[in-house]
Amino acid sequence: MPTLTFPKDFVWGAATSAYQIEGAWNEDGRGMSIWDTFSHTPGKVANNENGDVAVDHYHRYKDDIRLMTELGLKAYRFSTAWTRILPDGTGKVNKKGLDFYDRLIDELLKKKIEPYVCLFHWDLPQALQDKGGWTNRDTAYAFADYARIVTGLVSDRVKVVFTHNEPWVAAIVGHFLGEHAPGFKDPVQGIKALHHLLLSHGLAYEAIRASAKKPVKIGITLNLNPVYPASDSKKDREAANRTDAMLNRSVLDPLLKGTTPIQEFAVGKMLSSSLIKDGDMGKIKQLDLLGVNYYSRSVMKYDAKFPLVSAAQTFPEGNEYSGMWEIFPTGIYEILMRVSKDYKPSCELMVTENGIPVPDGLDFDGRVRDERRIRYLESHIAQVHRAVQDGVPVKGYFHWSLTDNFEWALGYGPRFGLVYVDYKTLKRTIKDSGRWFANVIRRNGLDA
Ligand code: FCB
């Protein structure tokens, strides 16, 4: 018996998203998404890389499912590309697009791997962006329609559907910080997009409920970061509180309480009466499963220069860093406890993403010795166990990601996979961390 054993039915899985792995960007009738447009615009993505080929999962999904079997995964979380199913975002359904996900789900089930379907992982149809995208309320209704179409295909076999992956990132990083598609730098657009994304969750929740052939759990996946003040000063503590409201409460409050903290910000106050219509908040607050994506924490100090929050991120000395973030394992425990204590959610919780970018490479003998990832996973999974012990209803843990893949604006630089991909040949190699994770799954726990 491992010293840290998980509950008997704990779900161990790995996650991916359509644009990051599928490739085949213009095949079988797929329409253009905002990530095609963004990555094809020079200067937007590192080295001007794009997801045209990615890891060619569209053609190699059977090989990838074979790898999942080798890893012993119980579940696989992936996203459907809206543009494969409705190339123009609304209107005519593309049967070939639906067929791909049909084959994928059948193959997973054949290998006894539970499919966890996510409907939106940032690849909005360009045709909808041309009408304002998420800043236009109509997009929320179009999303509910798309949700109904996917439900029609999958609900005889799929038990869990997530509406969105990290709506905060899609809204704020895409519309306010400008680092992701569609690449706007406007706080007003960011707040509007966030509200419409959340509203679309509620509308899709109802559409899925009404059309599912069998019982299905409907979830959403959020990026949550515990926020800490850089010092004990009042200014820094207030800066941390504002950041927490903007980063965490802006999504948790609507989904779990039916309220919103956006009025605490000047632009939010200005917008809220025209943006939030009667009944919106009640629709948003419908959820069976909350997915938590955890990577790092935020340590904030007061800085008047930054719009909205007047706070800037600091990077404390003395801790280990990955290529992208500070490594802070207790943060995953703290955020799970915080959700549980502050919100007392009636829904289940799952860790739907956790992982680290490591500059992995093939060794002389063809192995990938990614000890750093193993250490990261060991320390984070131990903290998830601690949260379970302390009564948080965490039902599963999904590693990000199955394979190395296209890391958005950072291109192919950061490698997050349990499986190494040679981007020239697209050959896959299970990393040492993959073997290690397989062992955790087999034993349903680990030795701390
Ligand atoms: C999350 C995203 C995922 C991946 C990881 C590293 O924010 O959901 O697609 O980029 O970060």
Express each pLDDT in 342-356 by its tens digit. 999 999 999 999 999
Question: How many H-runs (helices) and E-runs (strands) does the chain carry?
Answer: 17, 15
404 lines ligand 1 (CB under 6 A): no
Using CA atoms, how far residue 42 sits from 26, 45, 368, in Å, is: 19, 7, 33
233 alpha carbon – ligand 1 mean position (Å): 33
Q: Whose CA is nearest to atom 10 of ligand 1?
A: 407
- β-bridge pairing 75-79 and 114-120: parallel
- Please determine, for residue 34, whether its predicted confidence score (pLDDT) is greater than 90: yes
List, for residues 289-343, the tens digit of each pLDDT value.
999 999 999 999 999 999 889 999 999 999 899 989 999 999 999 999 999 999 9
Which residue among 20, 22, 166 has the greatest number of ligand 1 atoms within 8 angstroms of its CB, and so is best to mutate?
A: 166
162 lines ligand 1 (CB under 6 A): no
pLDDT score at 271: 87
**Which pair of structure tokens corresponds to residue 113?**
């791997």
122 lines ligand 1 (CB under 6 A): no
List, for residues 386-426, the tens digit of each pLDDT value.
999 999 999 999 999 999 999 999 999 999 999 999 999 99
Which residue among 122, 251, 353 has the greatest number of ligand 1 atoms within 8 angstroms of its CB, and so is best to mutate?
A: 353
* Coil, helix or strand at residue 128: helix
pLDDT score at 232: 98
pLDDT score at 411: 98
Does 4-446 carry CATH code 1.20.140.150? Answer: no
- β-bridge pairing 217-223 and 298-302: unpaired
| Region for residue 7 given its phi and psi (left: phi exceeds 0; alpha: psi -120 to 50; beta: otherwise) | beta
17 lines ligand 1 (CB under 6 A): yes
| Nearest atom within ligand 1 for CA of residue 166 | 8
431 alpha carbon – ligand 1 mean position (Å): 20
225 lines ligand 1 (CB under 6 A): no
Name, in order, each residue with C-beta under 8 angstroms of 345's C-beta and a sequence gap of 6 or more: 256, 287, 290, 339
416 lines ligand 1 (CB under 6 A): yes
pLDDT score at 269: 85
Which residue among 407, 412, 415, 418 has the greatest number of ligand 1 atoms within 8 angstroms of its CB, and so is best to mutate?
A: 407
Please indicate, yes or no, whether the overall pTM of this predicted structure exceeds 0.95: yes
15 alpha carbon – ligand 1 mean position (Å): 10
pLDDT score at 374: 98
How does DSSP classify residue 346? S
**pLDDT band with cut points at 50, 70 and 90 for residue 266:** confident
| Residues 335 and 294: beta-carbon distance below 8 Å | yes
- Please determine, for residue 448, whether its predicted confidence score (pLDDT) is greater than 90: no
Q: Provide, for the chain, the percentages of residues in helix, strand and coil under a 3-state DSSP scheme, each rounded to the nearest 5.
A: 45, 15, 40
pLDDT score at 433: 98
223 lines ligand 1 (CB under 6 A): yes
pLDDT score at 435: 98
- Please determine, for residue 170, whether its predicted confidence score (pLDDT) is greater than 90: yes
How does DSSP classify residue 72? T
**Which pair of structure tokens corresponds to residue 447?**
């030795």
List, for residues 182-209, the tens digit of each pLDDT value.
999 999 999 999 999 999 999 999 999 9
What is the overall mean pLDDT for the chain?
97
234 alpha carbon – ligand 1 mean position (Å): 33
pLDDT score at 422: 98
Domain ranges of the chain: 4-446
- Please determine, for residue 149, whether its predicted confidence score (pLDDT) is greater than 90: yes
- Please determine, for residue 270, whether its predicted confidence score (pLDDT) is greater than 90: no
**pLDDT band with cut points at 50, 70 and 90 for residue 1:** confident
293 lines ligand 1 (CB under 6 A): yes
Q: Which residues are known to be catalytic?
A: 166, 353
Chain-centroid distance of CA 128 in Å reads 21
- Please determine, for residue 282, whether its predicted confidence score (pLDDT) is greater than 90: yes
353 lines ligand 1 (CB under 6 A): yes
**pLDDT band with cut points at 50, 70 and 90 for residue 267:** confident
**pLDDT band with cut points at 50, 70 and 90 for residue 430:** very high
pLDDT score at 272: 81
**pLDDT band with cut points at 50, 70 and 90 for residue 273:** confident
Instruction: Give the whole-angstrom CA distance, residue 113 versus residue 235.
Output: 49
**Which pair of structure tokens corresponds to residue 186?**
């406007």
